[in-house]
Amino acid sequence: ALDGAGLHADLSTVVLTAVDFGANAAAGAGGGARFVGGTVSVVGGAAASNAAARGGALSCAGSAVVDLNGTTFVENAASLGGAIDVGNADEGACTLSGVGVNCSHNHADPPTRIMSHGGGCAAVGERSTFTLTGSILRSNKADRGGAVAALGTVAFDGCAVEENAAAGAGGG
């Protein structure tokens, strides 16, 4: 699939409860799932071993509003946002917020880019917002931003950001 190998939703209302996405691969964005616009609620579930050029597990774009609650992202890979890609400079104002999210052992590798960014998450849309509360970002790796590479608005509250690695800048 080009985008959203497991699920692709445009301008939709999506509710996922205890849904797992595993071993999906997309050439473009969102190996597990891609959301363009719309409103998305993800409760529980896991995304493991997914891959894409952007957002190995999940990618949101446009005016998408994505809420994660108790979701696990592990061993996903992309060159931009190993697990999660929150928007892009030319794709509008995407908002992703999470409570109790576990984002561990994801990696950004540079097969399609000169450098990889955001082992756990890349929030590179200037108008995008990425917020985590009571969440874990652990053992993620990238060239830049082992845990998170950000250009937009990023906020953490009561999170554990530990053991992440960056070859260039911002290990976390």
Q: Tell me if 94 sits within 8 A of 60, measured CB to CB.
A: yes
pLDDT tens, residue by residue, 4-57: 999 999 999 999 999 999 999 999 999 999 999 999 999 999 999 999 999 999
The pLDDT of residue 62 is 87
Confidence of residue 152 (pLDDT cuts 50, 70, 90): confident
The model's pTM = 0.93
**How far apart are the C-alpha atoms of 163 and 172, rounded to whole Å?**
7
Q: How confident is residue 170, by pLDDT bands cut at 50, 70 and 90? A: low
pLDDT digits (tens, 9 = 90+) for 90-145: 666 889 999 999 999 999 986 555 678 899 999 888 888 999 999 999 999 999 99
Count CB-CB contacts under 10 A for residue 124.
22
Percent of the chain at pLDDT exceeding 90: 76
CA distance 140 to 68: 19
